Each structure stands twice: as C-alpha cells, then as structure tokens.
Structure 1
Amino acid sequence: MTSFYDFRLPALDGGEIDISRWKGRPVLIVNTASECGFTKQYEGLQKLWLETGHATLDGLIILGVPSNDFGKQEPGTSEQIRQFCQLRYGVSFPMAARSVVRGTEAIPLFRWLAKEGGFLSLPRWNFYKYLIDRQGKLHSWFTPLTDPQAPRLLKAIHQVNEQPR
C-alpha cells in the first residue's frame, strides 16, 4: 500500500470500509477501547463528527478502530462494541472491526501510519489520533492526552479542512 486511499478495513457492522470513497476529505483515525480511562473521548469524537464531518459533504471523517492491544480494554465482540458505542455515546461515525494496531501483526493501515509518522507516532495506548489531510498524507498525530476538543487538535483539523480540494 502506497496511498492512504488504498486501504480497506472490515467494518464493525460486518461490512467493509473502503477508504477510497473518502478521497479529498480529511480523516481522523482513532484507535479506541471501551474499557479505558480515555473511553469518555468517544463523546468528544461524536461531537466533532457532528460539527465538522457529518453535516457536510466534504468535511472531516472520523474513523474509530477498536483495539484490544493495550490492557485488554476492548474484549467484546463486534456487536458488543457497537452497542456500547451507540448506547453510551451515540457514536454514528464509521467504526472498523476490532483490529491489531501495534507490532508485527498490526493491520496494514496502522503499519502505514507508523511508516509515515515515524517511531514516536506508534500507538502506545488507546485513543491515539492520526489526522490525514485532503491529499491522503499524514498531517499530524496526537497522543491520548489530547482530548478531541483540545485547541491544538481543532487547529490542525481547521488547517486540513481549509486545504484546497
């Protein structure tokens, strides 16, 4: 895979996520977990989705990628994860099926993110965030300590949203 738009992921609902359909749109990828101290960030991610992505045809896409890699904090089935996200946080943004996001078994998307972002960008816990610009390049990444409503993340999102299409 050489381009962000070449990836496909199994969807949480059993279908498939074809990232190429988002070509030209900024994307925020977040590795998530339901039993983590940062799980409440789903609320901020959903708010961000409704404010900058969902309501527009060319706005930000948020892609959640559940992972059980850190502290075994995502032990549920796809149906359990889906229900938890929808019932607890009203999540309506796209969610991939539970995936490995670190190490040699990481899914191709996260191997690509590691290559593009370098060693320091490797997820070391749940809720790492990766912002892809309109050209499909990694613009920036954020640790779990960066809340979805943090000014520095919102500034980066604004920068990629203002890029030419």
Structure 2
Amino acid sequence: MSTAFTPIVAGSALGGDAPAPVTPRHVPLTGGEANPSAAALRAQFGDAIRRVHVVRGETNVVVANERLLDLVRWLHDDPAQRYEYLSDVTAVEFRDPEPPIEVVWHLRSIAYRRFLRLKVELPRGAELAVPSVWSVYKGADWLERECYDMFGIRFTGHPD
C-alpha cells in the first residue's frame, strides 16, 4: 500500500507521488549549488558570513565567532529556515594550516529537508572559546562538554 507524501510545510518538498530527491552518487568534491539558507544568511548577517563553500553537495558556512549565537537563533526561529535539529557539535584540529582549530555545528531543517554546516575558525594563539548554543538546542549540552574535554574549547553561556 502506497500513501502519497504530504510535506510538513507547504512547498517544502515535492508532494504527490514524486519521490523525494536523492543525492547523486557522483557528487563533485567541491563546487555546486549552495543550500538556499546560505544566501539568506548573507543577506541577514552580511560580514558575519566569512565564506560559503560546497563540499560533496553539503553547504559549509564559516561565520564570525561573535555572531554565532545570533545566527543559530535566527536559523532556528525564522519560519523560512526552521533548523530545528542540531545533529552534532564537534571540532577539528589541523596540523599545519591557519587557523588550526574549527568548531563545527551540523544543523538540519526537517521541514525543508536542508542540511547546513556552520564553522567558526579559532586562530592560533586565540582563546579557545565560542558561544554555547545550548539556549537554542538543549541537545548541545553533552556535545559541547565533549568538545571541552577533547579540545579544551570553552562554550561561553553553557550551564555547566
């Protein structure tokens, strides 16, 4: 028995009997069309968006550390974005390049079937601190603790 798919938000996905879009098997390593939320972020926050790049079909947005919480709150609360799910918070330490540490947030909009990766770059010698997103996503609690334990990154505003 087959039931027609009904989008959660009108216009958010293909309706009727059309299958959901599938990520192609051979996506180029870099390049491609960015998630529409990247342009909306740039329009809303301007210079706080350092750069946008697409890797394997996934949009990465490097943002200013001092504006991170505003960006995350807007992505969560704006009806045209609705990033209601934080799937991960992690950090990456690079051996050679500047900046040596990136803190990374993986956000998902279930309603619009979008994925967005936000990054903050922490330059060498800078304080290892970023704003906590716990006030927006309660699930960030243990993820932020893990980044602190493994990398020494402080999440300002974290309840613990």
How does the TM-score come out when normalised to structure 2?
0.25
The structure whose residues are more often helix, as a share, is 1
TM-score (norm 1): 0.25
Query: Larger Rg: 1 or 2?
Result: 2
Structure number with the bigger relative contact order (C-alpha 8 A, sep ≥ 6) is 1
Higher strand share: 2
